[in-house]
Amino acid sequence: MNQTELHRRLREQYGPWAVVTGASDGIGRAFARALAEAGVHLVLVARREVALQSLAAELSGLGGEARVIAADLSSDAGVRRVVEGTADLPVGLLVAAAGFGTSGNFLAGDLDEELTMIDVNCRAVAALAHHFGRRFEAQNRGGLVLLSSLLAFQGVPRAANYAATKAYVQSLAEGLRVELGPRGVAVIASAPGPISSGFATRARMKMSMAGTASEVADGTLRALGKMGTVRPGFLSKLLEWSLATLPRWGRTRVLAKVMAGMTRHPT
Protein backbone atom coordinates (compact mmCIF):
# COMPACT_ATOMS: atom_id res chain seq x y z
CA MET A 1 0.00 0.00 0.00
CA ASN A 2 1.50 3.34 -1.01
CA GLN A 3 1.22 6.49 1.08
CA THR A 4 -1.66 7.93 -0.93
CA GLU A 5 -3.73 4.77 -0.45
CA LEU A 6 -2.88 4.65 3.25
CA HIS A 7 -3.93 8.26 3.73
CA ARG A 8 -7.22 7.72 1.93
CA ARG A 9 -7.97 4.58 3.95
CA LEU A 10 -7.30 6.36 7.25
CA ARG A 11 -9.68 9.20 6.36
CA GLU A 12 -12.40 6.95 4.99
CA GLN A 13 -12.38 4.32 7.74
CA TYR A 14 -11.73 6.46 10.82
CA GLY A 15 -13.16 9.85 9.99
CA PRO A 16 -11.90 13.40 10.16
CA TRP A 17 -10.56 13.67 13.74
CA ALA A 18 -8.09 11.66 15.82
CA VAL A 19 -7.01 12.00 19.45
CA VAL A 20 -3.32 11.39 20.13
CA THR A 21 -2.12 11.24 23.73
CA GLY A 22 1.55 11.67 24.52
CA ALA A 23 1.74 13.87 21.42
CA SER A 24 4.49 16.20 22.60
CA ASP A 25 7.34 13.74 22.13
CA GLY A 26 8.51 10.41 20.75
CA ILE A 27 5.99 7.92 19.41
CA GLY A 28 2.97 10.12 20.08
CA ARG A 29 4.51 12.99 18.14
CA ALA A 30 5.30 10.64 15.24
CA PHE A 31 1.68 9.43 15.15
CA ALA A 32 0.45 13.02 15.16
CA ARG A 33 2.67 13.93 12.21
CA ALA A 34 1.71 10.79 10.26
CA LEU A 35 -2.00 11.47 10.75
CA ALA A 36 -1.65 15.15 9.87
CA GLU A 37 0.10 14.15 6.65
CA ALA A 38 -2.90 11.91 5.94
CA GLY A 39 -5.23 14.89 6.21
CA VAL A 40 -6.69 13.93 9.59
CA HIS A 41 -7.48 16.71 12.07
CA LEU A 42 -5.91 16.23 15.47
CA VAL A 43 -6.51 16.61 19.18
CA LEU A 44 -3.04 16.74 20.73
CA VAL A 45 -2.82 15.67 24.37
CA ALA A 46 0.14 15.87 26.74
CA ARG A 47 1.18 17.63 29.93
CA ARG A 48 3.33 20.33 28.30
CA GLU A 49 1.09 22.94 26.70
CA VAL A 50 3.96 24.96 25.21
CA ALA A 51 5.30 21.90 23.40
CA LEU A 52 1.81 21.04 22.15
CA GLN A 53 1.21 24.56 20.84
CA SER A 54 4.50 24.42 18.99
CA LEU A 55 3.57 21.07 17.45
CA ALA A 56 0.10 22.34 16.51
CA ALA A 57 1.66 25.31 14.70
CA GLU A 58 4.06 22.98 12.90
CA LEU A 59 1.33 20.59 11.80
CA SER A 60 -1.00 23.38 10.70
CA GLY A 61 1.32 23.82 7.75
CA LEU A 62 0.09 20.47 6.48
CA GLY A 63 -3.41 21.87 6.08
CA GLY A 64 -5.34 20.29 8.93
CA GLU A 65 -6.72 21.57 12.21
CA ALA A 66 -5.20 20.86 15.61
CA ARG A 67 -6.72 21.29 19.05
CA VAL A 68 -4.46 21.29 22.10
CA ILE A 69 -5.45 19.77 25.45
CA ALA A 70 -2.87 20.06 28.20
CA ALA A 71 -3.69 17.25 30.63
CA ASP A 72 -1.88 15.08 33.15
CA LEU A 73 -3.28 11.62 32.48
CA SER A 74 -2.11 10.30 35.84
CA SER A 75 -5.17 12.03 37.31
CA ASP A 76 -8.90 11.54 36.82
CA ALA A 77 -9.16 15.28 36.18
CA GLY A 78 -6.74 14.98 33.28
CA VAL A 79 -8.75 12.17 31.70
CA ARG A 80 -11.96 14.18 32.14
CA ARG A 81 -10.32 17.13 30.41
CA VAL A 82 -9.74 14.97 27.34
CA VAL A 83 -13.27 13.57 27.39
CA GLU A 84 -14.87 17.00 27.78
CA GLY A 85 -12.50 18.68 25.34
CA THR A 86 -13.42 16.32 22.50
CA ALA A 87 -17.18 16.02 23.08
CA ASP A 88 -18.01 18.35 20.18
CA LEU A 89 -15.76 16.67 17.62
CA PRO A 90 -16.46 13.71 15.28
CA VAL A 91 -13.54 11.68 16.61
CA GLY A 92 -12.95 8.33 14.92
CA LEU A 93 -9.51 7.30 16.13
CA LEU A 94 -7.74 7.18 19.49
CA VAL A 95 -3.97 6.72 19.65
CA ALA A 96 -3.15 6.11 23.32
CA ALA A 97 0.59 6.78 23.18
CA ALA A 98 1.05 8.54 26.53
CA GLY A 99 3.19 6.56 28.91
CA PHE A 100 6.54 6.30 30.60
CA GLY A 101 8.82 3.69 32.07
CA THR A 102 11.28 3.16 34.89
CA SER A 103 14.26 0.86 35.19
CA GLY A 104 16.23 -0.74 37.98
CA ASN A 105 15.28 -3.07 40.78
CA PHE A 106 11.63 -2.57 41.72
CA LEU A 107 12.22 -2.42 45.48
CA ALA A 108 14.89 0.24 45.04
CA GLY A 109 12.57 2.50 43.07
CA ASP A 110 10.27 5.27 44.19
CA LEU A 111 6.83 3.82 44.97
CA ASP A 112 4.94 7.00 44.06
CA GLU A 113 6.58 7.02 40.64
CA GLU A 114 5.75 3.36 40.09
CA LEU A 115 2.10 3.91 41.03
CA THR A 116 1.90 6.98 38.81
CA MET A 117 3.17 4.83 35.96
CA ILE A 118 0.29 2.42 36.53
CA ASP A 119 -2.13 5.36 36.45
CA VAL A 120 -0.77 6.67 33.13
CA ASN A 121 0.04 3.40 31.38
CA CYS A 122 -3.03 1.43 32.53
CA ARG A 123 -5.75 3.42 34.28
CA ALA A 124 -5.85 6.28 31.77
CA VAL A 125 -5.68 3.88 28.82
CA ALA A 126 -8.62 1.91 30.19
CA ALA A 127 -10.65 5.05 30.82
CA LEU A 128 -10.03 6.53 27.37
CA ALA A 129 -10.55 3.19 25.60
CA HIS A 130 -13.86 2.80 27.44
CA HIS A 131 -15.05 6.31 26.57
CA PHE A 132 -14.00 6.40 22.93
CA GLY A 133 -14.84 2.72 22.43
CA ARG A 134 -18.44 3.54 23.36
CA ARG A 135 -18.47 6.49 20.98
CA PHE A 136 -17.03 4.43 18.13
CA GLU A 137 -19.43 1.56 18.79
CA ALA A 138 -22.39 3.95 18.59
CA GLN A 139 -21.23 5.30 15.24
CA ASN A 140 -20.27 1.83 13.89
CA ARG A 141 -16.83 3.11 12.96
CA GLY A 142 -13.57 3.87 14.68
CA GLY A 143 -10.18 2.65 15.78
CA LEU A 144 -8.24 2.21 19.02
CA VAL A 145 -4.43 2.14 18.89
CA LEU A 146 -2.96 1.01 22.22
CA LEU A 147 0.79 1.10 22.82
CA SER A 148 2.08 -2.19 24.10
CA SER A 149 5.77 -3.20 24.08
CA LEU A 150 8.09 -6.06 23.25
CA LEU A 151 8.43 -6.34 27.03
CA ALA A 152 4.71 -7.10 27.44
CA PHE A 153 5.01 -10.81 26.71
CA GLN A 154 7.04 -11.93 29.75
CA GLY A 155 8.27 -10.66 33.09
CA VAL A 156 11.30 -8.39 32.76
CA PRO A 157 13.71 -7.93 35.68
CA ARG A 158 14.88 -4.31 36.11
CA ALA A 159 11.73 -3.17 34.31
CA ALA A 160 9.26 -5.35 36.19
CA ASN A 161 6.50 -2.82 36.77
CA TYR A 162 6.80 -1.22 33.33
CA ALA A 163 6.59 -4.62 31.63
CA ALA A 164 3.57 -5.46 33.78
CA THR A 165 1.77 -2.27 32.69
CA LYS A 166 2.39 -3.12 29.06
CA ALA A 167 1.17 -6.68 29.61
CA TYR A 168 -2.09 -5.12 30.79
CA VAL A 169 -2.33 -2.98 27.64
CA GLN A 170 -1.55 -5.95 25.40
CA SER A 171 -4.22 -8.11 27.04
CA LEU A 172 -6.76 -5.28 26.97
CA ALA A 173 -6.23 -4.71 23.26
CA GLU A 174 -6.54 -8.41 22.44
CA GLY A 175 -9.83 -8.69 24.28
CA LEU A 176 -11.30 -5.45 22.95
CA ARG A 177 -10.45 -6.42 19.38
CA VAL A 178 -12.78 -9.41 19.61
CA GLU A 179 -15.50 -7.48 21.45
CA LEU A 180 -15.52 -4.42 19.19
CA GLY A 181 -14.55 -5.85 15.80
CA PRO A 182 -18.10 -6.96 14.91
CA ARG A 183 -19.25 -3.42 15.75
CA GLY A 184 -16.97 -1.80 13.19
CA VAL A 185 -14.23 -0.76 15.61
CA ALA A 186 -10.65 -1.79 14.87
CA VAL A 187 -8.33 -2.35 17.82
CA ILE A 188 -4.59 -2.89 17.57
CA ALA A 189 -1.76 -3.34 20.06
CA SER A 190 1.49 -1.83 18.83
CA ALA A 191 4.44 -3.60 20.46
CA PRO A 192 7.70 -1.90 19.50
CA GLY A 193 11.15 -2.77 20.79
CA PRO A 194 13.76 -0.14 21.78
CA ILE A 195 12.95 3.27 20.29
CA SER A 196 15.02 6.45 20.12
CA SER A 197 12.95 8.97 22.09
CA GLY A 198 12.71 10.83 25.37
CA PHE A 199 11.34 7.63 26.91
CA ALA A 200 14.81 6.15 27.39
CA THR A 201 16.08 9.26 29.14
CA ARG A 202 13.24 9.30 31.65
CA ALA A 203 13.62 5.56 32.23
CA ARG A 204 17.38 6.06 32.78
CA MET A 205 18.30 3.61 30.04
CA LYS A 206 20.92 3.55 27.30
CA MET A 207 20.27 1.79 24.00
CA SER A 208 22.99 0.60 21.64
CA MET A 209 20.40 -0.20 18.99
CA ALA A 210 17.01 1.45 18.60
CA GLY A 211 14.30 1.91 16.01
CA THR A 212 12.60 5.19 15.22
CA ALA A 213 9.28 6.57 16.34
CA SER A 214 8.26 7.18 12.73
CA GLU A 215 8.72 3.47 11.99
CA VAL A 216 6.32 2.68 14.82
CA ALA A 217 3.69 5.14 13.64
CA ASP A 218 3.83 4.11 9.98
CA GLY A 219 3.92 0.37 10.67
CA THR A 220 1.06 0.58 13.15
CA LEU A 221 -1.23 2.69 10.97
CA ARG A 222 -0.64 0.32 8.03
CA ALA A 223 -1.61 -2.67 10.20
CA LEU A 224 -4.65 -1.02 11.83
CA GLY A 225 -7.79 -2.91 10.88
CA LYS A 226 -5.77 -5.86 9.56
CA MET A 227 -3.88 -7.22 12.58
CA GLY A 228 -4.46 -7.48 16.31
CA THR A 229 -0.82 -6.98 17.29
CA VAL A 230 1.95 -5.40 15.26
CA ARG A 231 5.68 -5.31 16.01
CA PRO A 232 6.62 -2.31 13.90
CA GLY A 233 10.09 -1.86 12.48
CA PHE A 234 12.85 -4.30 11.56
CA LEU A 235 14.49 -4.27 14.99
CA SER A 236 11.24 -5.17 16.79
CA LYS A 237 10.65 -8.09 14.43
CA LEU A 238 14.25 -9.28 14.81
CA LEU A 239 14.11 -9.19 18.60
CA GLU A 240 10.76 -10.97 18.68
CA TRP A 241 12.06 -13.66 16.31
CA SER A 242 15.13 -14.18 18.49
CA LEU A 243 12.96 -14.68 21.58
CA ALA A 244 10.12 -16.64 19.99
CA THR A 245 11.62 -20.11 20.41
CA LEU A 246 12.30 -19.64 24.12
CA PRO A 247 9.83 -20.56 26.88
CA ARG A 248 8.45 -17.67 28.88
CA TRP A 249 10.95 -18.20 31.74
CA GLY A 250 13.77 -18.28 29.19
CA ARG A 251 12.71 -14.95 27.70
CA THR A 252 12.68 -13.47 31.19
CA ARG A 253 16.23 -14.65 31.82
CA VAL A 254 17.50 -13.31 28.48
CA LEU A 255 15.82 -9.94 28.98
CA ALA A 256 17.26 -9.72 32.50
CA LYS A 257 20.72 -9.69 30.92
CA VAL A 258 19.65 -7.22 28.24
CA MET A 259 18.17 -4.84 30.81
CA ALA A 260 21.25 -5.09 33.00
CA GLY A 261 23.29 -3.77 30.09
CA MET A 262 20.83 -1.01 29.24
CA THR A 263 20.34 0.52 32.69
CA ARG A 264 22.82 3.15 33.69
CA HIS A 265 22.30 3.36 37.44
CA PRO A 266 23.63 0.72 39.84
CA THR A 267 21.51 -1.86 41.63
Domains observed in the chain = 3-262 (3.40.50.720)
Average pLDDT, the chain: 90
For 113-152, the pLDDT digits (tens) are: 999 999 999 999 999 999 999 999 999 999 999 999 999 9
CA distance 37 to 91: 17
pLDDT for 53:
96
- What's the confidence (pLDDT) of residue 196? 60
**Choice among 66-80, 161-175, 232-246 with the minimum mean pLDDT:** 232-246
- Catalytic site includes residue 168: no
The whole-number pLDDT of residue 204 equals 53
pLDDT digits (tens, 9 = 90+) for 52-91: 999 999 998 887 899 999 999 999 999 999 999 999 999 9
Instruction: Identify the pLDDT of residue 243.
Output: 76
Q: Is the per-residue pLDDT at 109 higher than 90? A: yes
**What is the distance between the alpha carbons of residues 199 and 204, in angstroms, rounded to a whole number?**
9
Out of 17, 31, 136, 162, which one is annotated catalytic? 162
